[in-house]
Each structure stands twice: as C-alpha cells, then as structure tokens.
Structure 1
Amino acid sequence: MEKKKRSMRAFLNPLEWIAGFFQVLAAVFGPLLRWMGMLTPPSTEGFQNTQVADVEDARKLAEEQEAAVDAIVREMSPGEVVRAYARADAATRAEMDLSALDLAQQDWLMRLSDEDLSKLGMSTTAACARSLEAKTVKPAYPKAVAEMEAVEILKTPTEEEIEEMKRQQIAALFRQVQRELFHAPGVPNLNPKHTPATLH
C-alpha cells in the first residue's frame, strides 16, 4: 500500500500543524499515561461471531413458538376467543387469529366499543359465548371467592382446667349472694332483702 504524498500546501496549513502537535503529544505521553493507569487500554474483546447455525436455530424456535400459539388458538372455543380478544390490547387485537369465528361474528366483535370489550374481558367464558351467539354484550361476572377467616382451633381442657373453671363459677355466684345478704360488720343494710322473723 502506497503512502499518500503530501503536498507542500499541507505544510503551510496551520490545522495540519495542530494535528501533528497532538500526534506528537499522544506518541510521547500515551504510553506514560497508560503505564500510570490514567488512560484506558484499548479493548481486546473481539466481535461476537454470529454463525449461520445460530440464525437457523433462532428462526426454528420462532416458527415453533408461532405454531404453538396457532395450535392453542385453533383449540380455543369461540367464547374463549372472544374473551381473549376482549382482554388483549389494541396491538395484540390487530394480530389475533379470529378464524374460529365466522365472518358475521368477527364483524360484530371488531365493531365493539372499548367499554363493551372491557365488560366482556371481565366476564366468564360462558357469558362471552352467549354474547357472541346473541351478538349483544351480556356480561356475567364470576362470583368473588369469599375470604375465609382463620379457624380457631380449640383444645380440649384438662381435668385441672375444668376444676378451675368450676371453682371460678361458684366463687362468682357466691360473691353475688354475699353482696346481697351480708354486709361488713357495723355497716347498716339500707335495702334489706331478708328481715328476721323475731325482733329482740
């Protein structure tokens, strides 16, 4: 490869002088800066070689995924297709396969408003099938599963616990009777419920 000859005019150009000055600076100080770690070394990583086999594997995988999606769509009932269409976003709806529906059903489905599609998306599959047959939106929402409270597990009381509960019950009843009939010594009973039969 022949070097390009420089003309004499290039030596008179001040921009060429500045470029040459920077080349000299880089040649002198570059190795020093690299040795001190202040200048990042050039990248030694090579390019990733993309082989033909890699491209073929990616194409084969994409075709298998597309075939699997098509098989799932073919196995879907018309009600499931309507529900999937209603739940999808606008970009996915444009790419969906509606071959499970006839032309009139496809036309009805594509003319639905966003509000009707959101109602069908929240409905059950059976409700979507009924709506498709009647060609009117008839939403039926699945029943919400009631949240069950945690069941408290009761343990069988022991003999000692049973005796303690009996003692507490009798003590509570006795306290009530004692409060009604007997007062502390020297305290008059202002509301007597028991009057003695004889007076002294």
Structure 2
Amino acid sequence: MTTSRTSAQGQEQGRQRRWLGLAVLALPALLASLELTVTNLALPAIGRDLGAGSTQLLWTVDIYAFLLAGSLITMQGAAAAISSTAPQLGGALGIALLGSVITAVYRGRTDGAVPEGVPADAAGAFEDDLSATVTAAERLPGPVGDELLGAARGAFETGFQVAAGVCAALTAATAVLVALAGVRGKRRVSP
C-alpha cells in the first residue's frame, strides 16, 4: 500500500515537472513574440519618420527578427538554438499564412472594383498591392486619388480583419486541443 502511494506521488511530481518544463520552454517564445509584436506596432511610426515604403518596412521586421534570433543563439548556446528554432518556424509559418490571407482578401476585394475615372496604370496598381496603389493615388488629381486610396485601404483593412479572425480561431482551437490533452492525461493516471 505504501508503494502504490509513493508511486502515485512520483507520477504526480512527474506530471508537474512536465508542465513546468513546458512553461520554461514556452516563455522565450512568448517573449520573442511580444518583442516582434511591439516592433510591428511601431512600424507605422517608423515608416512615417523615415519615409519608408512597405517593402522597406517588411525588411525592417525580417532583419530585426534575424538579429533577435541571432542574439538568442549566440548568448544562450546550442540549447537555446534548438529551443528557438520552433518559435521561429512557427512565426514564419504564421506570417506566411496570415500574409497570404490578407493578400487573398485584398485582391478579392479589389478585383474589378476600380473606382470611376481611374487610369489603367493606376487600376493595375490598385489590383496588385497597397504600396503601388498609394504611389499611384498620389499622382492622381484630388477626388479620384482619394477615392482610389480609400478603396485600397478599405480592402486592406478587411484583409487584416479576416486574418485576425483566422488567428483568433486558430488560437481558440489550439486552446481547446491543449485543454483536451490535459484532461486525457489526467484520466489515464487516475485510479
């Protein structure tokens, strides 16, 4: 009887250690995500102050992420390099997925929706991407340029909202899966 009680206590301690290990491994990923989120929130101000376009801002985020990852690797050694690979891969896949969603929604909303009076070259830019549309709208006379820019911004904002919804749905699904995995683990150990 004492052996079974000791065995049950050992299993409980092992389970607690697994959760502690998960927390220790997840904390750097959370901090890196927060750091990159702060950088992304600062992008409009960076772009405005430096006069950078969307391509330059994309490179700013990429280079910042590489520098952050490089500092993690050099400061923490091989173990940190291994543990930082998963969040980097997850971040890259997330950016690719959400960027694709935004692009698909933007192009879907702008395809064939060119405002009246917009020249063909500006219409092509409008259906292609937001930065080209901003450049084209600046060259157009007042109301036509403003209408083109407003339509492009509306399409981009809709794409961003859809991407945020996809992100929220994926987060909720992950939370449910983690909760179910925790419940299943408790059921197996319980006498």
- Does TM, normalized by the shorter one, top 0.5? no
Larger Rg: 1
Bigger RCO (CA 8 Å, 6+ sep): 2
Q: Looking at secondary structure, tell me which structure has more helix per residue.
A: 2
User: How high is the TM-score relative to the length of structure 2?
Assistant: 0.23
Q: TM-score, normalised on structure 1? A: 0.22
